[in-house]
Amino acid sequence: MQFEEIKELIKLFDESSITSLTIKEQEFAINLAKEQIIATTQLTQPQNVVIQQPQIQTTQEQPKEQKTVKKSGEELKSPMVGTFYRCPSPDKPAFVNVGDRVKKGQTLCILEAMKIMNEIEAEFDCKILEFLVDDGQPVEYDMPLFLVERV
């Protein structure tokens, strides 16, 4: 790595929000790290530099009391990681709404995963009691999407 490249790298590193960087090329290695530096100077003594590690303050919140109302019904869970959509497109109505009765194989929602729209179908005849996720919300594998009642 040339001297000018190193100077440019240091300048970019200094202007960025990155706190550490290590680059290795064959026999050359450079390690850059940002730390909080407090400098104090006195006229009669050489400059003193004190290096302090950034302190991370964590506050433990008290768990909020949650109203645990167990609703009757069965949860339909996500078969994959993705983004939950209630409608086939923004200008179209939702596939299903609360209170709707759906047949086995009927589309309930879309899960977008890696730019692929996957239609999620009902596994059995049921009535939609509640949506457990919001439209456009990311969901995890096996995360409850709907609360339903078998019919």
Model confidence over 79-128: pLDDT tens digits? 999 999 999 988 999 999 999 999 999 999 999 999 899 999 999 999 99
pLDDT tens digits, residue range 99-113?
999 999 999 999 999
Rounded Cα distance between 39 and 139, Å, is 48
Q: Which two tokens stand for residue 97?
A: 């709404």
pLDDT at 93: 93
Q: Are residues 27 and 79 in the same domain?
A: no
pLDDT of 143 strictly over 90: yes
26-74 pLDDT tens trace:
777 777 777 654 454 445 555 555 555 555 555 555 555 544 455 678 9
Top pLDDT among 66 and 138 is at 138
The token pair that represents 49 in the structure block = 């530099």
Q: Identity (one letter) of the amino acid at 112?
A: E
Is residue 82 located within the same domain as residue 133?
yes
- Please indicate, yes or no, whether residues 138 and 82 belong to a single structural domain of this protein: yes
Please check whether residues 46 and 90 belong to one and the same domain. Answer: no
19 versus 94: which is more confidently predicted?
94
φ, ψ for residue 70, nearest 5 deg: -80, 115
pTM for the structure as a whole: 0.52
For residue 125, the domain's CATH number is 2.40.50.100
Task: Give the CB-side neighbour count of residue 99, counting CA atoms within 13 A.
Answer: 0
The pLDDT value recorded for residue 41 is 46
Q: Which domain holds residue 128?
A: 74-150
pLDDT at 60: 55
